[in-house]
């Protein structure tokens, strides 16, 4: 006699498992703990051996659904398919697809590449995938992805005006796919086919950091810096930024141990660890520090600052934690506070100094060496230290020139 929903609801558990038959091999197994499990008994198509297939539990799987699953299994048996083995194969295939998903492969690739990257570079590469790839294709089998799946990710960035990021993402995806091919989990790299789908980088308008190069406006900026009403360490950082024109991180992460204020040639020796170098150069013991000669004006500022923070590790401790250095947004926030938002940023002092120093007649190699730029061609063979005497002279002359602009605005 076939089962009914009423009969199933009224069925009570017994001390031993009991069966309520429905027909066609389907029955409801009543367990002593109150559980009600749908079961389907059948004979394997090839061997004829008896087997049992689980079809779910009641009430999550109702009577109608259980019958539908039984009928589907019976159709498989009629065509020579063992429904139990078929379920195992589907489960195994699903696990394999999950193990070979794009996100799994990409994270494996990130782990392989991480030793050759700085922490900051790793965070950028990982973040780009987490923001622009994983939410859309992360769970899909890498071998099943094609051009049609990849193109929307690239076009989304390009249409939003982030062309450089679109190029970087396409190249990054290509590297992940090549890793999948190399590990025998994909047969090709569909991202490579999109190399011509984006406008060329040559057509991109290069975005420069906001900067000031007009002498009169430079004088306005310097006077505004002198009037900064924030904390003393930030005020000192603002004053030193135009004098040193190094990268912002080399200011905020500066440590007192890296300074020589009393020697014959006072200088700030920027360690490789905080310079803009490849990881292997940062960690190589033979990589020399970048030397920033200190003008008399810079020394005067540093001596005042030393009274306040000289016992600390960093010149510019963090506002919330004295054991950490100043945050990366402090200088830009201070520039905005004195009225130069969108007109000047910390990195802009480099372009300001480079432009003005060349216009004042200082040799290119000395300026480039002070900026810690790599010079190509024959000039590049010479050690940057070769220009130190000229750079010392230049840095003092630069500080004197800034004093002139600050004082009376004379641009001659």
Report d(CA 95, CA 104) in Å as an integer. Answer: 12
Catalytic member of 43, 120, 276, 303 = 276
Question: How confident is residue 80, by pLDDT bands cut at 50, 70 and 90?
Answer: confident
The CATH number that applies at residue 30 is 3.30.160.390
Element holding 103 (H helix, E strand): helix 102-113
Specify whether 119 is located in the same domain as 262: no
Element holding 30 (H helix, E strand): strand 26-30
Specify whether 342 is located in the same domain as 379: yes
Question: How confident is residue 382, by pLDDT bands cut at 50, 70 and 90?
Answer: very low
Domain end position, chosen among 96, 112, 129: 96
Is the pLDDT confidence value at 391 over 90? yes
Question: Residue 295, SS3?
Answer: coil
Is the pLDDT confidence value at 166 over 60? yes
DSSP, res 102: H
Specify whether 379 is located in the same domain as 230: yes
Is 301 among the domain residues?
A: yes
To the nearest whole percent, how much of the chain has pLDDT over 70? Answer: 92
Is the pLDDT confidence value at 90 over 50? yes
Question: How confident is residue 274, by pLDDT bands cut at 50, 70 and 90?
Answer: confident
Is 208 among the domain residues?
A: no
Question: How confident is residue 319, by pLDDT bands cut at 50, 70 and 90?
Answer: confident
Q: What is the pLDDT of residue 385?
A: 56
pTM: 0.57
Quote the tokens at residue 49: 């051996």
Q: Supply the mean pLDDT for the chain.
A: 88
In total, how many domains does the chain have? 3
- Write out 149-187 in H/E/C secondary structure: HHHHHHHHHHHCCCHHHHHHHHHHHHHHHHHHHHCCCCC
Cα torsion at 247, 248, 250, 252 (round to 10°)? Answer: 170
Q: What is the pLDDT of residue 163?
A: 87
Is the pLDDT confidence value at 284 over 90? no
Specify whether 234 is located in the same domain as 383: yes
Closest CA to 336 of 243, 233, 221, 250: 221
Q: What is the pLDDT of residue 381?
A: 37
Question: How confident is residue 302, by pLDDT bands cut at 50, 70 and 90?
Answer: very high
Is 347 marked active-site?
yes
Q: What is the pLDDT of residue 155?
A: 92
Closest CA to 172 of 238, 106, 123, 74: 106
Report d(CA 239, CA 301) in Å as an integer. Answer: 8
Q: Tell me which residue has tokens 């992940």.
A: 176
Is 162 marked active-site?
no
Domain end position, chosen among 160, 178, 203: 203
Residues 6+ apart with CB under 8 A from 14: 30, 32
- Give 27-59 pLDDT, tens digit per residue: 999 999 989 999 999 999 878 899 999 999 999
Domain end position, chosen among 63, 96, 129: 96
Question: How confident is residue 73, by pLDDT bands cut at 50, 70 and 90?
Answer: very high
Averaged pLDDT, 150-165: 90
Specify whether 223 is located in the same domain as 367: yes
Question: How confident is residue 386, by pLDDT bands cut at 50, 70 and 90?
Answer: low
Q: What is the pLDDT of residue 197?
A: 83
Is 247 marked active-site?
yes
Is 210 among the domain residues?
A: no
Is 350 marked active-site?
yes
Is the pLDDT confidence value at 200 over 70? yes
Q: Which residue has the higher pLDDT, 145 or 379?
A: 145
Specify whether 81 is located in the same domain as 115: no
Q: Measured in whole angstroms, how far is the alpha carbon of residue 344 from the centre of its chain?
A: 26
Averaged pLDDT, 340-365: 93
Catalytic member of 170, 290, 325, 347 = 347
Averaged pLDDT, 87-92: 77
Is 412 among the domain residues?
A: no
Specify whether 56 is located in the same domain as 127: no
Specify whether 318 is located in the same domain as 396: yes
Specify whether 186 is located in the same domain as 231: no
Is 329 among the domain residues?
A: yes
Q: What is the pLDDT of residue 81?
A: 83
Q: Tell me which residue has tokens 């769970």.
A: 139
Is 387 marked active-site?
no
Lowest mean pLDDT among 2-6, 195-199, 356-360: 195-199
Closest CA to 399 of 291, 252, 293, 261: 293
Specify whether 111 is located in the same domain as 221: no
Q: Which residue has the higher pLDDT, 98 or 223?
A: 223
Averaged pLDDT, 183-204: 83
- Give 117-147 pLDDT, tens digit per residue: 888 889 999 999 999 999 999 989 999 999 9
Q: Which residue has the higher pLDDT, 202 or 193?
A: 193
Is 9 among the domain residues?
A: yes
Is 128 marked active-site?
no
Specify whether 242 is located in the same domain as 179: no
Q: What is the pLDDT of residue 311?
A: 92
The CATH number that applies at residue 178 is 1.10.150.130
Is the pLDDT confidence value at 249 over 70? yes
Is 354 among the domain residues?
A: yes
Specify whether 337 is located in the same domain as 232: yes
Question: Residue 45, SS3?
Answer: coil
Is 209 among the domain residues?
A: no
The domain in which residue 168 lies consists of 102-203
Catalytic member of 170, 350, 351, 391 = 350
The CATH number that applies at residue 337 is 1.10.443.10
């Amino acid at each position: 006699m076939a089962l009914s929903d009423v009969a199933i609801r009224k069925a009570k558990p017994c001390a031993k498992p009991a069966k309520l038959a429905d027909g066609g091999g389907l029955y409801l197994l009543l367990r002593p703990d109150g559980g009600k499990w749908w079961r389907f008994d059948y004979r394997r198509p090839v061997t004829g051996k008896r087997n049992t297939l689980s079809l779910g539990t009641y009430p999550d799987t109702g009577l109608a659904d259980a019958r539908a699953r039984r009928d589907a299994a019976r159709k498989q048996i009629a065509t020579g398919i063992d429904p139990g083995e078929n379920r195992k194969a589907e489960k195994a295939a699903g696990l394999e697809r999950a193990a070979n998903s794009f996100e799994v492969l990409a994270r494996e690739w990130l782990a392989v590449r991480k030793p050759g990257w700085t922490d900051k570079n790793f965070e950028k590469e990982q973040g780009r995938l987490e923001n622009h790839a994983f939410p859309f294709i992360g769970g899909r089998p890498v071998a099943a992805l094609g051009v049609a799946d990849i193109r929307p990710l690239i076009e989304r960035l390009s249409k939003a005006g982030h062309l450089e990021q679109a190029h970087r993402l396409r190249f990054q995806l290509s590297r992940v796919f090549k890793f999948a091919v190399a590990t025998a989990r994909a047969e090709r790299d569909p991202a490579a086919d999109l190399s011509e789908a984006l406008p060329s980088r040559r057509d991109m308008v290069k975005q420069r950091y906001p900067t000031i190069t007009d002498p009169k406006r430079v004088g306005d900026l310097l006077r505004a810096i002198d009037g900064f009403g924030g904390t003393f360490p930030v005020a000192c950082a603002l004053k030193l930024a135009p004098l040193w024109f190094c990268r912002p991180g080399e200011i905020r992460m500066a440590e007192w141990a890296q300074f020589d204020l009393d020697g014959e040639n006072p200088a700030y020796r920027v360690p490789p660890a905080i310079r803009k170098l490849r990881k292997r150069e940062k960690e190589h013991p033979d990589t020399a520090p970048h030397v920033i000669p200190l003008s008399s004006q810079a020394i005067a500022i540093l001596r005042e600052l030393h009274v306040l923070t000289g016992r600390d590790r960093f010149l510019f401790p963090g506002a919330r934690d004295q054991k950490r250095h100043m945050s990366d947004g402090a200088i830009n926030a201070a520039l905005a506070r004195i009225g130069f938002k969108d007109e000047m940023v910390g990195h802009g002092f480099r372009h300001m100094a480079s432009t003005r120093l060349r216009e004042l007649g200082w040799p290119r190699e000395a300026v480039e060496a002070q900026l810690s730029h790599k010079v190509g061609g024959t000039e590049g063979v010479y050690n940057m230290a070769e220009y130190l005497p000229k750079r010392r002279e230049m840095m003092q002359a630069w500080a004197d020139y800034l004093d002139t602009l600050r004082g009376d605005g004379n641009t001659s």
